[in-house]
Amino acid sequence: MTDHDAREPELRDWSRQLTQALQILDLQVDRNLLLDLAAESSVVSPSAGPISTFVVGYAAGLAAATGEKNATAAVESAAAVARQVLAEPTATGWADTAQ
């Protein structure tokens, strides 16, 4: 059993409580994607995980708000860019696409 599995009920409840408080009622949080991204980002710095997940969420929110992508696709796309930057520190992500 992983730490993700052991904490799943409390994380599920927290995610639901937070999304309801923020009135984002249709969002299904992919907790494992975010937790994995935070863990992967910690190679940069112990504090890089929360920063990475915030920036991914912000980028996804912008993409979803414009109707460019639905929330799930927007999070997955932004997380993929974050992982690309982690894998290739010189990667520019979307910078070369004028987005």
The mean pLDDT of 66-90, rounded to a whole number, is: 91
Residue 55 is assigned to a structural domain of this protein: yes
- Per DSSP, the three-state class of 68 is coil
- Per DSSP, the three-state class of 91 is coil
Query: Could you give the number of structural domains in the chain?
Result: 1
Neighbour count for residue 92 (Cβ, 10 Å): 11
Residue 14 is assigned to a structural domain of this protein: no
Residue 97: pLDDT band by 50, 70, 90 thresholds? low
Average the pLDDT over each of 18-22, 25-29, 33-37, 62-66 and give the range with the smallest value.
25-29
Residue 15 is assigned to a structural domain of this protein: no
Residue 1 is assigned to a structural domain of this protein: no
Q: 0.85 exceeded by the pTM?
A: no
Residue 37 is assigned to a structural domain of this protein: yes
pLDDT at position 65 is: 92
pLDDT at position 75 is: 94
* Domain range for 50: 29-97
pLDDT by residue (tens digit) across 56-72? 999 999 998 999 888 88
Residue 73 is assigned to a structural domain of this protein: yes
pLDDT by residue (tens digit) across 38-50? 999 999 999 999 9
Residue 79 is assigned to a structural domain of this protein: yes
| Half-sphere exposure at residue 2, Cβ-oriented, CA atoms within 13 angstroms | 6
